Chains A and B, each alone.
Chain A
Amino acid sequence: MESNKVLNAEGLACPMPVVKAKKEIDNLNAGDILEIHATDKGAASDIPAWTKSSGHELLQQDNEGETLKFWIKKA
Chain B
Amino acid sequence: MAEEEKNGTTMIVFDGDLDKAMASFIIATGAAAMGKQVTMFFTFWGLNVLRKENVQGGSDKKFMEKMFEKMMPRGPEKLGLSKMNFGGMGPKMMKKMMKSHNVSSLQEMIEMAQELDIKMVACTMSMDVMGLKEEELIDGLEYAGVASYLSEAEQSNLNLFI
Contacts and interface: CB of A to CB of B under 8 A. Distances in A.
A59 interface: no
Interface in A21-75: 21-22, 50, 53-55
A18 B28 CA distance: 12
A19 B35 contact: no
Interface residues of B, number: 14
B101 A22 contact: no
Chain A contact-residue range equals 10 to 19
Nearest to B103: A13
Chain A interface helix/strand/loop/mixed: helix
Interface string B101-143: 1111000000010001000000000000000000000000000
Contacts of A18: 30, 33-34
B26 A14 contact: yes
B45 to A, nearest CB: 23
Given A50-B34, A53-B35, A13 B112 contact: no
A11 B102 contact: yes
B104 A21 contact: no
Contacts of A13: 101-104
A23 to B, nearest CB: 8
Interface of B: 26-27, 29-30, 32-35, 101-104, 112, 116
